[in-house]
Amino acid sequence: MNDEGRVLAGRYRVGALIGRGGMSDVHVGTDTRLGRQVAIKLLKPQLATDPAFRMRFRQEAQSAARMAHPTIVRVFDAGEETVVDSAGQEVQLPFIIMEFVEGRLLKDIIHDGPLEATAAVRVIDGVLTALEYSHRAGVVHRDIKPGNIMITTAGQVKVMDFGIARAVSDSSTTVAQTTAILGTASYFSPEQAKGETVDARTDLYSTGVVLFEMLTGRPPFRGDTPVAVAYQHVSERPVKPSVVNPKVSPALDSVVLHALAKNRDQRYQTAAEFRADVDTAAAGQVPVHREPDQATMLFGAPTGSLSSSELALRQLAEDETMTRTQRRPPAIWIWSGIIGVIVIVIAVMYWAFNLQPTAELPSNVKEIPVLTGNTYEEAVDILQELGLPATPVEKTDDTVPAGQVIGTDPPAHEIVDNGTAVTVFVSTGKQAVTVPDLRNKTLEQAKADLKALGLVAGVETRESSPTVPADTVLGTSPEAGSAVEVGSTVDFRISSGTVTLPDVTGQTLEAATSYLGAENLQLTAVPKPDGSCDSQPGSPVTQQSLAPGDVPQHSSVELTYCAG
């Protein structure tokens, strides 16, 4: 079903596709009523068949539309359009009209490599500012990740898709489908992975994951499947970012590890608290984190919500007029609590480990497999088994060997309709460049030209030349115009500034003069008569002023001959 050119709600004209996600496509569009450019998000029909999902999606979009903040991508409108799919069936197509933002996604920026600490702090400050505003408005994002963070051309941070993830997680969609829709579990909080109720602190955990990835170039947990990653979020401790990138300071290590605490009561409680520690770390100081009290650690009660028994204990400790009747809780209560916590943890780990997300996918959709590292022929075979046609596109890549797959569009793990064409990006190896013509350039200039093209100066061989000045390039190997990979070595042939003088004694004066003045020598013969000996026919040269061998260019050579 081609949506380009469609008019939604009688006013929004759908334009070219500018982005694809696990659950929706994003088009540039035009609001014909107001004459402004907008972004139009269209949900994929196979994920919008649940009426409860559509209702919650609309409610959450309306909630997000009420938020107006410079760090949040505005939602202007939302609704549903009745359309006819490729099978001729009428379906409801949910859509969202959003602010159009020019810039780059944070995930694309991270793909180029880790960010400098100052840049990462600036981006995370913007994200936390947006979350502080949304949390005060009672909206939890639930899907903070680099793919939902835009950096505008002016450097402004914009967070997208507020409320959308809540619609997904609150609907009757299965856990497996939700995992597929979000595309990756790399940014799940432990409570999301365990299927528990989430709150604002879930967004702060995901923000910690994003900060880790900005500083290191990769998320803290990686695995072959989303389930394996979710299991690590629940049970494994992340490494310090400085272990992956030694440039990360101890102060930022401390901030990231505190944000990634498994227990939500032990991590940052508000976006403002998180941002304050980030700014402290950026100034070179290690933030001090208050340890949670023992009651919170044992019973998991959120900070600020004390039970009546805890209030009584606090009052007993502070009021000197009251008398204790029992020094501590009965031991059986403590051991019962500890055993209960252990049982819950084991049960959650068993549940997470045995999740089977792909088993719940609808029959009319497929998940794009990971094809990186395969040859194109192998990738075609894998896609054909899934009923997905493949189209090759060649790209240069400094790390992936020629002939191997770099990636795909749609990307791996994305859910697509049956028959969706998949673009397979195949590496042609390192970028090819043409060796420039460096003849008659100085050696210093020639080396600078090679470096600018990503080539390396190699061996320097000096040769005689009657005309080219010393230290000037005569030629290269490979020759000028040859195509080579970036990083290849280019050898030089360089003028020595000399020519090789032969031995011309015994030759006639005329022949020796002609030989020295030839094109390949260009030396000047100076006849010198010798009256001490009898002249001979042809005036043979008896002596030359310069010995045979290398002599400076354009030298004068005295040729002595008998003239008595």
Buried b / exposed e along 324-343 (16+ C-beta atoms within 10 A): eeeeeeeeeeeeeeeeeeee
Lookup result for tokens 């197509």: 93
Structure tokens at 195: 């299927």
Q: How many CB atoms lie within 10 A of CB 153?
A: 9
Query: 501, 523 in Cβ contact below 8 A?
Result: yes
Structure tokens at 80: 């549903």
Q: Tell me the C-alpha distance between 198 and 139, whole Å.
A: 11
First to last CA, the chain: 108
Distance of CA 276 to the CA centre of its chain: 27
DSSP state letter for 400? S
DSSP conformation letters of 14-47: EEEEEEE-SSEEEEEEEETTTTEEEEEEEE-GGG
Lookup result for tokens 């910690």: 208
DSSP state letter for 315? H
108 catalytic, yes or no?
no
Q: Which of 3, 31, 77, 143 is catalytic?
A: 143
Sign of the torsion formed by the C-alpha atoms of 145, 147, 150 and 153? positive
Q: Tell me the C-alpha distance between 338 and 347, whole Å.
A: 14
Q: Tell me the C-alpha distance between 451 and 495, whole Å.
A: 21
Query: 11, 33 in Cβ contact below 8 A?
Result: yes
Q: How many CB atoms lie within 10 A of CB 160?
A: 25
**240 among annotated binding-site residues:** no
Please compute, for residue 307, the number of CA atoms within 13 A of its CA located in the half-sphere on the CB side.
7
Phi, psi (degrees; rounded to nearest 5) at 97: -105, 120
**In terms of DSSP bridges, do strands 456-463 and 489-495 run parallel, antiparallel, or are they unpaired?**
parallel
Element holding 30 (H helix, E strand): strand 24-31
Distance of CA 1 to the CA centre of its chain: 31
Q: How many CB atoms lie within 10 A of CB 476?
A: 22
Residues making up the annotated binding site for ATP are 41
Residues making up the annotated binding site are 41
Which residues are known to be catalytic?
A: 143
